[in-house]
Amino acid sequence: MARTAWTLIGLSLLAACGGKKVKNAGPIVGWHAEEGWPGACYYPPNFDTMGAGDRKLARQKTLEAMTSQWRGERDDGVSFPADQVENLETVLLGEPDLIETVAVDNLERCKGAMVSGGQTISWGKWLRDEPDRLTAGQCKYRPMDYQLFDYLDITRGWQIPAKVCQGDKVEIKASTMDQYQLSPRGPWINADGDKDTPTLGTKLPCHFKGCYKGMLIMRFTGDSGAQQIYPVGIDHVFTAPEHGTIEVQINDDTWFDNKYRVVGTIEHHTSIEYHGQ
């Protein structure tokens, strides 16, 4: 009797399903829309189940799908500013592994928009802010792994700016043979400055121990806004404490009477080099 009862239950279920066997639905992958949605959302695959080659292709396909919707190419009412789409796409192209987590977040934003009848304000804010969130703490500048060469203008302040990343080690060098004068009767000096005129306690930019009038000095301005000034002289190796900008000038605050030495028809010009270490 028990076996007959189970047989009858099985036949009843089979009839209810139209005589077809019922299979468990697998995870949704690709474009999919629930009933009542004004558009579809892209469901990313399970990247963890893929080999390296397939995973790379799946990331590319997923990024292409997401950006097509962000750009308004699916005619579903979704469209975001082109520059914001490009900003996020650029980050993801540079770090493709981030596509996997962004795709999951994007799906949730998309579903929220579709459930609300196509309201994309929250989704758009997420897309706008995502690049900064993904790159928080990262240096946005090219690492100082190159050499920069220029000439020092002794008639103006901070100059020759260069971006550096935290931890970059930069050697700053000035030529020794080129001389200049800070006043008509002053001594001829090079980038080491006037060793007879220390500037400790003065109002000059470099005014602590080791600073001299007219010497080459450096200013570091971090992305946080913090500034530090260092005596350079002929040669100085600097390690950036954070991402920021380095600049140089001579340790002076008046510029009108500064002049380079002229020998015959040749005028001196102090050369400046930045060497990434």
Cβ atoms of 240 and 220 closer than 8 Å: yes
* DSSP output for 107-133: HHHHHHHHHTTS--HHHHHHHHHHHHH
Same domain, 88 and 152: no
Cβ atoms of 256 and 224 closer than 8 Å: no
- pLDDT tens-digit readout, 4-31: 444 444 444 444 444 444 455 679 999 9
- The total of structural domains in the chain comes to 2
The answer to the question of residue 1 being in a domain is: no
The answer to the question of residue 12 being in a domain is: no
pTM of the model: 0.62
Beta bridge partners of 212: 198
Lowest-confidence pick of 139-143, 166-170, 242-246: 139-143
End-of-domain residue from the set 67, 101, 134: 134
* Averaged pLDDT for residues 218-245: 96
Same domain, 227 and 180: yes
* Averaged pLDDT for residues 182-200: 97
CA atoms within 13 A on the CB side of 114: 20
E runs forming strands in the chain: 30-32, 41-43, 147-151, 159-164, 169-174, 180-181, 194-198, 212-213, 216-222, 227-231, 235-239, 244-250, 259-260, 262-263, 266-267, 271-276
The conformational region for residue 264 under phi > 0 = left, psi -120 to 50 = alpha, else beta, is: left
The answer to the question of residue 217 being in a domain is: yes
Q: According to DSSP H, which parts of 36-137 are helical?
A: 52-70, 82-94, 98-115, 121-134
Check which CATH number belongs to the domain holding 259 and give it.
2.60.120.430
The predicted structure's pLDDT at residue 25: 63
End-of-domain residue from the set 104, 134, 164: 134
The answer to the question of residue 178 being in a domain is: yes
* Averaged pLDDT for residues 239-265: 96
Could you tell me the pLDDT band of residue 188, with boundaries at 50, 70 and 90? very high
The answer to the question of residue 182 being in a domain is: yes
pLDDT above 70 covers a percentage of the chain that reads 91
Same domain, 185 and 113: no
Same domain, 127 and 184: no
Whether residue 198 is predicted with pLDDT greater than 50 in this model: the reply is: yes
Closest of 31, 101, 129 to residue 73, by C-alpha: 31
- C-alpha–C-alpha distance, residues 9 and 132, integer Å: 58
Same domain, 169 and 126: no
Range of the domain at 87: 18-134
* Averaged pLDDT for residues 219-225: 96
The answer to the question of residue 65 being in a domain is: yes
Same domain, 130 and 152: no
End-of-domain residue from the set 78, 100, 134: 134
- C-alpha–C-alpha distance, residues 255 and 215, integer Å: 14
- pLDDT tens-digit readout, 151-174: 999 999 999 999 999 999 999 999
Same domain, 271 and 165: yes
- pLDDT tens-digit readout, 95-125: 999 999 999 999 999 999 999 999 999 999 9
